[in-house]
C-alpha cells in the first residue's frame, strides 16, 4: 500500500459543522408536506445547482439529506420541500419563521444545466420527486430562452397530495410549459386524469434526438418510466435521473448511500442512465 | 537500515524506553483466549506473540464512538470538540494491521480529508512484529507477507532467543536512540507459511469479482448469515459510520456522535419511509465482499481486505471470506477455462 501524505488537520474543512440558517417562510402544501424558505446568515447564496441536496439538522434530533427545491435563480434564500416521515421531519414541521435550523452543503453533483441548453427538457416527476425537479423547472423558466420545450409529466397518488398548487396552476396556463398531470386514485371531486405516471408518456409528441428526460420519484417508479421512455424510442443516452439514498454524511465517508461502488452523495444523486444501467443496485 | 538483537529478557526494558518518549499502545491478554490493544501501563503485561487482536488499532484513529459536535439546545448553537493527536507508539502490530491503517489513510485523505481522523493519526509510529499465521490468516494472498515491514518505523522479527529489531525510518531510529543493543548479524528465520490461501494472484481477482456478481455463493452464504454485523465491527478496513444525536438529562445540552456502522445490518440502507435498498442478506454479503475486493480495489489497484482473518474467526455463523472468494474463483475458472 502506498503511503499517503497525511494532510495537515488545519488544512481540512469543517465537514460536519452546520451553518445556522433562519426559516423565513413556511407554507403548508399538503397534510404531509411543507415548503420552508431558508436564509443563510447574511443572505449569502447557497450556491447550488438544480438537483443538489443539503443536510438539514436539528440539534438533539438529528440530520437528514433534503433536496433543494428552489432554483439557484431565486436570490436571498432557498427552499426545501419536506415531507413529514420521521422524527426529524416531524420536528421540522413544527418550526415557525424566525427559528433557526442547521444546514450543511450543498452536496452531490446536481444537474449539469449546460448539457440541457438548447434541448427540449422532459421532466418526469412522481410524487415527492417533484420537489428536487422543481429546482430545474424554475431554473429553465427563469432562463427560458436557453432551452427548448419544457414538458412536465407529474404523477401523484391522489389529488389531495398534489404539491406546489400555485405554481402548478401557473404551469398549466403558461404557454411556455407543456404540463401533464395524472393521479393514481382521484377523490370524488377530481376531474383530471387518473392513471399512473407512465400512462402520460405514450401520448407525448417528442422531438426524440433533441429531448432530454429527467426522472425523479419513488423507487418503484424508475424502471417503469424508463421502459415507457424506451418504448417511446427515446435513447438511453437522453435519460437522466435523480436517486434517493440515505446520504448520512454527504461527504463520501459514511457509506450509507452507496450503490455498488458509487457514493450517491458524491457521484449522484443525479445519474446519466447509461452509467447506472450497469449498477445493479441502482434501480 | 540496520538490525539489532533484542533478547527476550530485554523486551520490558525496551518497552519502558519507548514509554519514556511517547504513550505506547500494545497487545494485552483479554480474558483467556483473546487479545486487545490497550495503553501500556506495565511493560511486562504486553504480549508480542499473539494470533490476532479482537479489534485492530483502527479504534484509536476512528473510535467506535466519537463526538462530532457538541450543542447547546437553549442557545441553539454548536461547536466542534477539539481532537488531540495521539502522538503514540503502536507496538507489536502485525503487518496486515499496519497496512489496514494505510488503507484507512487513503479513505480519510482522498475526496474530503477528515480532520478528526487526520488529527488523531498525527505522530503515530508503528513497531511491527512478525506472527505465525493460524488457520484464519491469509494476508499473504492479498500482498502482505507475515514479515512485511512496509509502513513500520521499527519491526521485530522473531528469531532465536528474542527479536531482530529492524530500523526502517529515521523516526524509528530516534525511538531506539539511547537504548543499547548489539547488532543482529545472523540471518532471519524463514517466515512461517500461511495455512489459508486465495487461489488466484491478486491481479486476477479483478476479473473474478467482475464475473461473480450473480454467483450462487451469495445466496448460499446468506442462508447462514444472521446479519449481526460482527464482520464489519472487527474489520480493520471498515470505516462506515452512522451519526446520532444524544441529549443529556438536563435536556439543555447534547452531542452529535458517530459510531461504527455495518453494511451487513439491514437498516444500513434504509431511507425515510422504510425502503431498504439492500433488503436481501445475499446482497449485503456481496456488498461487503465487493467493498473489500472490487469497488475500492478497482480504483486503487489493490485488495481492500488485508487478510487478517478476523471476520471469519469472529463470524457467529461460520462464514469464511476466503471460502467465498475461492468459490468465486472456481466459478470463474469453470466458465473461462
Q: Using the predicted structure, report yes or no on whether residue B130 has a pLDDT greater than 90.
A: yes
The answer to whether the CB atoms of B268 and A59 lie below 8 A apart is no
Q: A-chain residues within 8 Å CB-CB of B269?
A: 245-246, 256
Banded model confidence at residue A280, pLDDT cuts 50, 70, 90: confident
Q: B-chain residues within 8 Å CB-CB of A280?
A: 213
* Structure confidence by residue, pLDDT tens digits, A5-60: 889 999 999 999 999 999 999 999 999 999 999 999 999 999 999 999 999 999 99
Query: What's the pLDDT at A115?
Result: 97
Whole-number average pLDDT of chain B: 95
Q: State ipTM.
A: 0.93
User: What number is the average pLDDT over the span A87-104?
Assistant: 98
Q: Using the predicted structure, report yes or no on whether residue B302 has a pLDDT greater than 80.
A: yes
Q: How far apart are CA B43 and CA A130, in angstroms?
A: 64
Of B105, B150, B277, the CB nearest to A4: B105
Query: What's the pLDDT at B191?
Result: 80
Whether cis (ω within 30° of 0) applies to the bond prior to A10 is no
Query: What's the pLDDT at B192?
Result: 82
Query: What's the pLDDT at A1?
Result: 65
Q: Which chain B residue lies closest to A86 (C-alpha atoms)?
A: B272
Query: What's the pLDDT at A236?
Result: 97
Which of A256, A265, A269 is most worth mutating to test chain B (most B CB atoms within 10 A of its CB)? A256
A257-266: long-range contacts (C-beta < 8 A, 24 or more apart)?
A: A258/B263, A258/B287, A258/B295, A259/B277, A260/B287, A260/B290, A260/B295, A261/B290, A261/B291, A261/B294, A261/B295, A261/B296, A261/B298, A264/A108, A265/A65, A265/A107, A265/A108, A266/A108, A266/A109, A266/B111
Q: A-chain residues within 8 Å CB-CB of B109?
A: 4-7
Q: Using the predicted structure, report yes or no on whether residue B1 has a pLDDT greater than 80.
A: no
Q: Using the predicted structure, report yes or no on whether residue B3 has a pLDDT greater than 70.
A: yes
Q: How far apart are CA A63 and CA B258, in angstroms?
A: 12
User: What number is the average pLDDT over the span B206-219?
Assistant: 93
* Structure confidence by residue, pLDDT tens digits, B146-171: 999 999 999 999 999 999 999 999 99
Query: What's the pLDDT at B188?
Result: 86
DSSP state of A65: E
Query: What's the pLDDT at B50?
Result: 97
What are the Cα distances from residue A196, in Å, to A124, A157, A200, A228, B6? 12, 8, 8, 12, 76
Q: How far apart are CA A90 and CA A215, in angstroms?
A: 27
The answer to whether the CB atoms of A253 and B69 lie below 8 A apart is no
Coil, strand or helix at A187: coil
Banded model confidence at residue B201, pLDDT cuts 50, 70, 90: confident
Of B243, B298, B302, the CB nearest to A249: B243
Q: Using the predicted structure, report yes or no on whether residue A278 has a pLDDT greater than 80.
A: yes
Q: How many CB pairs under 8 A join A and B?
A: 150
Q: Which of residues 45-104 of A touch B (CB under 8 A)?
A: 57, 59-64, 83, 85-86, 89, 100, 102
Banded model confidence at residue B114, pLDDT cuts 50, 70, 90: very high
Query: What's the pLDDT at B117?
Result: 97
What is the full DSSP assignment across B37-82? EEE-SSGGGB--S-S--SS-THHHHS-SEEEEEEEETTTTEEEPPP
Which of B62, B73, B76, B206 is most worth mutating to test chain A (most A CB atoms within 10 A of its CB)? B76
Q: A-chain residues within 8 Å CB-CB of B108?
A: 253
Banded model confidence at residue B40, pLDDT cuts 50, 70, 90: very high
Banded model confidence at residue B336, pLDDT cuts 50, 70, 90: confident
A266 touches chain B (CB under 8 A): yes
What are the Cα distances from residue B232, in Å, to A152, B222, B237, B294, B299? 44, 15, 9, 17, 21
Q: Using the predicted structure, report yes or no on whether residue A2 has a pLDDT greater than 90.
A: no
pTM of the model: 0.95
Whole-number average pLDDT of chain A: 96
The answer to whether the CB atoms of B108 and A85 lie below 8 A apart is no
* Structure confidence by residue, pLDDT tens digits, B90-106: 999 999 999 999 999 99
Contact A203, A153 (CB under 8 A): no
Residue B78: strand pairing partners: B71
Amino acid at each position: 500500500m502506498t503511503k499517503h501524505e497525511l494532510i495537515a488537520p488545519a488544512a481540512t474543512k469543517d465537514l460536519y459543522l452546520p451553518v445556522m440558517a433562519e426559516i423565513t417562510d413556511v407554507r403548508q402544501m399538503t397534510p404531509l408536506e411543507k415548503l420552508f424558505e431558508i436564509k443563510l446568515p447574511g443572505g449569502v447564496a447557497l450556491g447550488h445547482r438544480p438537483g443538489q441536496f443539503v443536510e438539514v439538522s436539528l440539534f438533539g434530533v438529528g440530520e437528514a439529506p433534503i433536496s433543494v427545491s428552489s432554483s439557484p435563480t431565486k436570490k436571498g434564500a432557498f427552499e426545501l420541500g419536506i415531507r413529514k416521515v420521521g422524527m426529524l421531519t416531524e420536528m421540522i414541521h413544527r418550526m415557525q419563521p424566525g427559528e433557526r435550523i442547521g444546514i450543511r452543503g450543498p452536496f452531490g453533483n446536481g444537474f449539469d444545466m449546460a448539457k440541457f441548453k438548447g434541448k427540449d427538457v422532459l421532466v418526469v416527476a412522481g410524487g415527492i420527486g417533484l420537489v428536487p425537479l422543481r429546482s430545474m423547472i424554475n431554473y429553465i423558466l427563469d432562463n427560458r430562452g436557453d432551452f427548448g420545450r419544457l414538458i412536465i409529466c407529474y404523477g401523484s397518488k391522489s389529488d389531495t397530495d398534489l404539491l406546489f398548487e400555485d405554481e402548478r396552476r401557473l404551469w398549466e396556463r403558461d404557454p411556455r410549459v407543456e404540463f401533464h398531470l395524472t393521479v393514481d386514485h382521484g377523490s370524488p371531486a377530481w376531474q383530471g386524469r387518473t392513471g399512473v405516471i407512465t400512462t402520460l408518456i405514450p401520448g407525448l409528441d417528442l422531438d426524440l434526438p433533441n429531448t432530454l428526460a429527467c426522472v425523479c420519484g419513488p423507487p418503484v417508479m424508475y424502471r417503469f418510466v424508463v421502459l415507457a421512455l424506451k418504448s417511446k424510442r427515446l435513447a438511453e443516452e437522453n435519460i437522466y435521473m435523480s436517486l434517493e439514498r440515505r446520504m448520512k454524511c454527504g461527504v463520501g465517508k459514511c457509506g450509507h448511500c452507496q450503490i455498488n461502488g458509487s457514493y450517491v452523495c458524491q457521484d449522484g444523486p443525479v445519474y446519466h442512465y447509461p452509467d447506472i444501467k450497469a449498477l445493479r443496485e441502482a434501480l | 537500515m540496520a538490525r539489532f538483537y533484542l533478547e527476550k529478557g530485554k523486551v520490558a526494558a525496551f518497552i519502558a524506553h519507548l514509554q519514556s518518549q511517547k504513550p505506547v499502545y500494545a497487545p494485552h491478554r483479554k480474558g483467556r483466549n483473546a487479545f486487545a490493544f490497550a495503553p501500556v501501563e506495565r511493560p511486562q503485561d504486553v504480549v508480542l506473540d499473539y494470533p490476532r487482536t479482537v479489534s485492530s488499532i483502527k479504534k484509536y484513529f476512528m473510535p467506535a464512538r466519537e463526538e462530532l459536535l457538541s450543542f447547546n439546545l437553549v442557545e441553539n448553537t454548536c461547536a466542534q470538540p477539539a481532537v488531540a493527536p495521539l502522538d503514540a507508539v503502536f507496538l507489536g502490530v502485525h503487518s496486515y494491521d499496519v497496512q489496514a491503517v494505510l488503507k484507512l489513510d487513503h479513505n480519510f485523505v482522498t475526496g474530503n480529508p477528515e480532520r478528526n481522523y487526520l488529527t488523531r493519526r498525527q505522530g503515530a509510529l508503528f513497531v511491527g512484529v512478525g506472527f505465525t499465521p493460524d488457520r484464519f490468516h491469509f494476508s499473504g494472498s492479498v500482498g502482505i507477507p507475515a514479515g512485511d515491514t512496509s509502513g513500520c518505523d521499527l519491526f521485530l522479527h522473531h528469531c532465536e532467543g528474542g527479536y531482530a529489531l529492524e530500523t526502517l525510518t529515521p523516526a524509528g531510529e530516534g525511538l531506539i536512540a539511547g537504548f543499547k543493543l548489539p547488532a543482529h548479524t545472523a540471518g532471519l528465520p524463514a517466515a512461517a507459511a500461511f495455512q489459508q490461501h486465495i487461489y488466484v494472484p491478486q491481479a486476477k481477482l479483478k476479473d473474478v469479482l467482475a464475473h461473480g456478481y450473480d454467483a450462487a455463493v451469495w445466496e448460499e452464504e446468506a442462508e447462514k448469515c444472521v446479519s449481526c454485523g460482527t464482520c464489519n465491527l472487527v474489520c480493520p478496513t471498515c470505516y462506515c459510520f452512522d451519526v446520532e444525536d444524544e441529549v443529556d438529562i438536563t435536556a439543555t445540552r447534547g452531542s452529535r456522535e458517530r459510531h461504527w456502522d455495518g453494511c451487513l445490518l439491514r437498516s444500513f440502507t434504509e431511507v425515510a419511509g422504510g425502503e431498504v435498498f439492500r433488503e436481501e442478506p445475499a446482497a449485503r454479503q456481496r456488498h461487503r465482499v465487493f467493498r473489500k475486493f472490487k469497488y475500492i480495489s478497482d480504483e486503487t489497484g489493490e485488495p481492500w481486505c488485508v487478510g487478517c482473518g478476523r471476520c471469519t474467526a469472529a463470524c457467529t455463523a461460520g462464514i469464511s471470506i476466503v471460502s467465498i472468494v475461492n468459490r468465486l474463483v472456481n466459478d470463474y475458472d469453470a466458465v473461462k477455462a
